[in-house]
Amino acid sequence: MAIRPNSIEARDVAHVLHPYTNAVAHEKSGPVMIAGGDGIYVIDSEGNRYIEGLAGLFCASLGFSEKRLVDAATRQMSTLPFYHSFSGKSHETAVELATRLIELAPVPMSKVFFVNSGSEANDTAVKLIWYYHNAIGKPEKKKIISRLRAYHGVTVASASLTGLPYNHRDFDLPIDRVLHTDCPLHYRYAEKDESEDAFATRCAASLEQLIQKEGPETIAAFFAEPLMASGGCIVPPPTYYEKIQAVLKKYDILLVADEVICGFARTGNMFGCESFGIKPDMISMAKQLSAAYQPIAALMINDKIYDGIRIESEKIGTFGHGFTYGAHPVATAVALETLNIYRDRDILGHVRSVMADFQSGLHAFADHPLVGNVRGMGLIGALELVKDKATRESFDMAWGVAGHVGERALAHGLITRALGDTVNFCPPLIITKAEIADMFARAKVALDETHAWLQ
């Protein structure tokens, strides 16, 4: 349908530059205007209701109408609407939130540094990795290894860590201190008849080869999102992290866990690190930290990294890093109330009580003619679409098959996300068993219609 002149849609096309959108296609299609929310549903400007099958962007854990969060923001707005934490200033909700996060941390942590986005948290981690190695007199130990198909954000350093071509191409990235090792997706990258364990061994050996080739004295850190959500819900084999961490330990390499999506019950434990036995030196978190009601993220660091900052403070004085809105009072108040709600309503217990239904609903798609691989954990999952189930041949990306499933799902009142050739599900954590069944029923219609479209 043509976009009506002077409509809000026309003004969107005229004035808004959309992230992760094909600019030329958008000029023709215009936006979907979202006007409100109710539980796990969002409502467009014409009154159509959609199940938010991706919790917005893997973040709206408590859905779209949580009154307690609105009240927490309003209260804070009327007491202290803004203050910063530069030059030793502080305020109550920042301190309370940091205290709670340290208590919740999956491994002993020392300090919390507040920022506004997952990208900023990961960029801060990169800067601290460099700062720390300068502090301890190892200025040559600066390279960072991430993985192909990883997603760690879009700022210059975090986009470099990201291992997806469209985040690098023509942005002149990655920067030269960032290297990428293998993606631990058994379905795609294992050799014929290679067991999950043998594949994990090969991934760890390949990491070690890269370290050897570059020189172990130059490798500072390894970044890992426990379950690689935006790469298409990549769940590494059970023994993968044990083998990877043995290599990191051998060469004295720091480990950063990116819990931006996994954190706060998504994988069936409070943190993805617990689901996979990961023992990081730093943890980045965002999204479900505030149920997405306020932009806030955090980087937790352990004593070892904090010691580096102390050494530098003695040497050069001020720790020269920080964002105006880091630890914003309204954001910290909302995040603190989010953690209160998780505790009061036992959100982890709820996730554990519905995740078997979610995973069985997801795995029921294994028989669908378009689905080559089903993967997931807790309340997150993806379907990888293939042209040929037997040979695992992928569709030509230009056909946009996963995107077509997304369009058909939208027509049936379900928002999902196509990432490459995967269709992704990551609903609000408050979803009920009945809503899970409804979500997958709508997804099934979308897949069937896409299958018919391809015939």
Contacting positions for ligand PLP (CB under 6 A): 57, 117-119, 122, 151-153, 225, 229-230, 258, 260-261, 286
Nearer to ligand PLP, 105 or 190 (CB): 105
Nearer to ligand PLP, 117 or 269 (CB): 117
Nearest CB to ligand PLP, comparing residues 3 and 261:
261
Closer Cβ to ligand PLP, 220 or 419, answer by number: 419
| Number of alpha carbons in the 13 Å side-chain half-sphere of residue 248 | 23
CB of 122 to ligand PLP, least distance (A): 6
Question: Could you tell me where the DSSP H helices lie in 345-432?
Answer: 347-363, 401-411
Instruction: Dump strand ranges (E) for 16-104.
Output: 34-38, 41-44, 49-52
CB 125 within 8 A of CB 256: yes
Q: How far is CA 192 from CA 122, 186, 264, 310, in A?
A: 36, 10, 36, 51
Separation between Cα atoms, residue 445 and residue 340, nearest integer Å: 38
* Nearest distance in Å: CB 316, ligand PLP: 29
Q: Which residue is nearest to ligand PLP (CB)?
A: 118
CA–CA dist 30, 33 (Å, integer): 9
Measured from the CB of residue 120, what is the shortest distance to ligand PLP in angstroms?
A: 7
**How many angstroms separate the CA atoms of 262 and 258, rounded?**
8
Under DSSP, is residue 266 helix (H, G, I), strand (E, B) or coil? coil
Identify the residue whose tokens are 């239904």.
357
Please enumerate in sequence order all residues whose Cβ is within 8 A of that of 26, keeping only pairs 6 or more positions apart, or say none. 13, 18
Q: Which residues contact 113 (CB under 8 A, 6 or more apart)?
A: 124, 298, 299, 300, 301, 326
Instruction: For ligand PLP, give the closer residue by CB, 93 or 117.
Output: 117
Closer by beta carbon to ligand PLP, 118 or else 406: 118
- For ligand PLP, give the closer residue by CB, 230 or 450: 230
CB of 259 to ligand PLP, least distance (A): 8
Residue with tokens 């069936």: 268
Residue 387: DSSP 8-state: S
For the bound state, the minimum distance from the C-beta of residue 278 to ligand PLP, rounded and expressed in Å, comes to 14
Nearest distance from C-beta of residue 114 to ligand PLP, angstroms: 13
Asked if residue 214 lies in contact with residue 245, where contact means CB atoms within 8 angstroms, the answer is no
Q: Least Å distance between CB 153 and ligand PLP?
A: 4
